[in-house]
Chains A and B, each alone.
Chain A
Amino acid sequence: MNLLVVCCVLLVLLILGLPIALIMGISGLTYFIVTGSLEYFPMIVTRLYSGMDSFVLICIPFFILAGDMMTRSGITDRLVKFSNLFVGRLPGSLAQANVVASGIFASISGSALGDIAAIGSVFIPAMKKEGYSGRFSAAVTAVSAIVSPIIPPSLIIILYASVINTSIGAMFVAAIMPGFLMIAGDMIIVHILSIRRKYPRREERMPFSEALKCTKDALIALIMPLIIIGGIMGGVFTPTEAAAVAVLYALIVGVFVFRNLRIRDIIVSMYNSAMSSGKLFFIIACVGILSWAFAMEDVPQQVLNLFSGMLAHPWLILLSINFFLLFMGMWLDLTANIFLFAPIFVPLITAAGVDPLHFSIIFLLNVNLGNITPPLGIVLFATSELSGEKAFDIVSELWGFWIIKVIILALVTSTPWISLWLPRLLGFES
């Protein structure tokens, strides 16, 4: 009953358009007003503070900084050339290159918005020039960008791991195969659409010397994820240290190898990463209040009781959670979703005998899809802002990609092997 009031307040505030962080905080507070326990009010400060005071979370501004500095040192153009070398001869060459470049970029940056800004600003004008429609260019950019939160280093994996206390390294590795599947799925859809619409392909071959040069440049970018994942998996660094090393690597590459990262760029990068991680942390901090209210109402136990009859059929539970998370992904952003619902579902899923590592990937794939669905669709609207296309025009080109994403989601959900094979291979027991 009390929770119903809280949910109503949450919904109304959401529609009114309050910042999501404040919605979390205020609807959490309404719980304490409704139950008449005003004496808890002074503790909101402690909740807020302890939400942010975490050693693991320090890697978030660092990963954002590393990605941003890599972008500023001009890695994007090099990646574009490299991906063009790879898939340029396929039909719809630029669209394919967009998907591949986003995929590679995903292994440098941890969030989709950075991907949009870097890849989109190069590809959308270029694709329009070659005769692709503006809305198709924007749609491909948006859909390929949401690979970024899945492929490591991934900010949402760090967030999830910090809530659930799982190993970040294991989750990074588990996310690799689903991430590749997403890229492959996007490429299939682009291929089908390109053949049907007769999009142009690159005719001439690239000279060997140039191919060699851009491969070398791309390798420089690809070393970074190797350092991060290898370092964490090999037990050399903690994730936070790995993030700091990534910043150092980006700095060295930008200043000494590509030589176009100036002091001013570094300062702007730092400012940007502080701002974007600050916005994220505000949500993390305020969600603490609402999830406190959830914990007081014993929501995880109630959900467990609700599904207790279904524990023998884990796939039914997974199916209903999938639907729920897909829906919530449309309304709340990734951070809020992870912090609110992961603590609720993980006990249930463990009781049902599903591997928590497997479930974490399912969870993230679900809420990640909300990035390109209205009404919230942060990535969708960012793309529409960048390209000048109306968001709904982009949506009209997106449905094919949605279908393939849902198919991949179903595949990952039904075959634990996809997400668990690689971590097992590297010796992670869960």
Chain B
Amino acid sequence: MLGFALLFISVMMQIVWRYVLEIPLPWSDEAARYLLVWISLLAIAIAFRDDSHIRLDFFFNRFAPHVRHIIWVIFNLLSLVFLALLFFYGIPNAIMGKFTFSPGLSNLLPNTTVTLFVPYLSVPVTGGIMILNLVDYVLFNFKIKELGDSRAREKS
């Protein structure tokens, strides 16, 4: 589902861009940037579920299996703390953005006013999704004692 949302936005981005090449619209620059942030954050969240972030597993794979399991739990807890920080500090940030107008995007629809709330909301929302995905990944793999190739979860 996440994937589809992502794709849809990507397509939108493409279309926005093709317009840009013909007529430079005042809002397209901002729209593209906000979309970029949203897309990347969603992709980051998906990568948490697949455990496909770039990491140095050279040493990790050489620890004894039970040590590896402990380390794995520790670093996932650390990641969780970091993501929780993003989530909780992201909320006030987004609310703050509600009072700041986004200059280009507001020209797009003169009757509505787009605020920086829209792009800033991306951080807490995807932060929440990242936490859910990470918890999902951890719970799924927790029972598997052998974290064999460090990527135990093959099916999506």
A residues apposed to B, CB below 8 Å:
13-22, 25-26, 29, 41-42, 44-46, 48-49, 52-55, 57-58, 61, 241, 244-245, 247-248, 267, 270-271, 273-275, 277-279, 281-283, 331, 333, 374-376, 378
Residue of A nearest to B93 (CB): A45
Set of chain A residues within 8 Å of B144, measured between Cβ atoms:
none
- Are the C-beta atoms of A274 and B39 separated by less than 8 Å? yes
Instruction: Judge whether A378 and B33 touch: CB under 8 Å.
Output: no
Asked if B79 and A15 make an inter-chain contact with CB atoms under 8 angstroms apart, the answer reads no
Contact check: which of A20, A29, A374 meets B53 at CB < 8 Å? A20
Provide the residues of chain B in CB contact with A26, threshold 8 Å. Answer: 78, 82
Which chain B positions have C-beta within 8 A of A61? Answer: 10, 36, 39-40
Is B32 in contact with A58, judged by CB distance below 8 angstroms?
Answer: yes
A283: B residues at CB distance < 8 A: 54
Q: Decide: A19 and B54 in contact? CB cutoff 8 A.
A: yes
Q: How many residues of B contact A (CB 8 A)?
A: 50
A residues within 8 A CB of B18? 244, 248
Nearest-CB residue, chain A, relative to B3? A271
Q: In the bound complex, do residue B29 and residue A55 qualify as a contact, i.e. CB atoms below 8 Å apart?
A: yes
Closest Cβ of chain A: how far from B123's Cβ, in Å? 5
Known: A16-B74, A271-B3, A277-B43. A42 touches B60 (CB 8 A): no
Minimum distance in angstroms from A152 CB to a CB of chain B: 20
Q: Which residue on A lies nearest to B83, using beta carbons? A: A22
- Taking CB atoms, residues of chain B closer than 8 Å to A376 are 56, 58
Chain A interface, DSSP helix/strand/loop, else mixed: helix
B103 in contact (CB, < 8 A): no
Known: A15-B56, A16-B59. 17 other contacts (CB 8 A): A14-B56, A16-B71, A17-B71, A20-B54, A20-B55, A22-B79, A42-B93, A44-B86, A48-B123, A49-B119, A49-B122, A53-B36, A55-B33, A57-B36, A270-B7, A270-B11, A278-B43
Whether B52 sits at the interface, judged by CB under 8 Å, is yes
Give the nearest-CB partner of B40 in chain A.
A281
Most chain B Cβ neighbours within 10 Å, of A52, A273, A279? A52
Closest Cβ neighbor of B11 among chain A residues: A270
Q: List the B side residues contacting A277 at CB < 8 Å.
A: 40, 43
Known A17-B59, A375-B58; judge A278-B85 contact (CB<8 A).
Answer: no
Question: What A residues does B85 contact at CB under 8 A?
Answer: 29, 41, 44
CA A27 to CA B10, docked complex, whole Å = 32
Neighbouring A residues of B39 by C-beta, 8 Å:
61, 274, 278
A41 to B46, CA, bound (A): 25
Q: CB < 8 Å: which of A18, A20, A52, A55 contacts B32?
A: A55
Partner-A contacts on B (CB < 8 A): 3, 6-7, 10-11, 14, 17-18, 20-21, 29, 32-34, 36-37, 39-44, 46-47, 52-60, 71, 74-75, 78-79, 82, 85-86, 89-90, 92-93, 119-120, 122-123, 150
Cα–Cα, bound, A275→B42 (Å): 9
Residues of A within 8 A of B56 (CB): 14-15, 17, 20, 331, 375-376
A83 to B53, CA, bound (A): 34
- Report Cα–Cα, A45/B120, bound state, in Å: 9
Q: A17-B71, A244-B18 are in contact. Are A49 and B123 (CB under 8 A)?
A: yes
With a cutoff of 8 Å between Cβ atoms, the chain A residues found around residue B43 in the complex are 274-275, 277-279, 281
Tell which of B11, B36, B82 touches A22, judged by Cβ atoms closer than 8 Å. B82
* Min C-beta distance of B151 to chain A, whole Å: 10
**Are A21 and B89 touching (Cβ within 8 A)?**
no
- In the complex the two chains form, is B86's CB within 8 Å of A54's CB? no
Query: Nearest chain A CB to B128's CB is how many angstroms away?
Result: 13
8 cross-chain pairs, A with B, having the tightest CB-CB distances, nearest first: A278-B43, A17-B60, A19-B53, A375-B58, A281-B40, A19-B55, A278-B40, A282-B44
CA distance A281 to B82 in the complex (A): 17
Contact B60 A16 (CB under 8 A): yes
Question: Do B79 and A19 touch across chains, with their CB atoms under 8 A apart?
Answer: yes
Q: How far is the CA of A44 from the CA of B47 in the complex (A)?
A: 21
Chain B residue with the shortest CB-CB distance to A244: B17
Q: List 7 A-B contacts (CB under 8 A).
A: A13-B78, A16-B74, A17-B60, A49-B119, A53-B34, A274-B42, A278-B40
The docked-state distance in angstroms from the alpha carbon of A16 to that of B21 is: 47
Whether A13 contacts B46 in the complex (CB less than 8 A), given A241-B21, A244-B18, A245-B21, comes out as no
With A18-B75, A244-B17 already in contact, the answer to whether A52 and B86 are too (CB < 8 A) is no
Known contacts A278-B43, A374-B58: A267-B7 contact under CB 8 Å:
yes
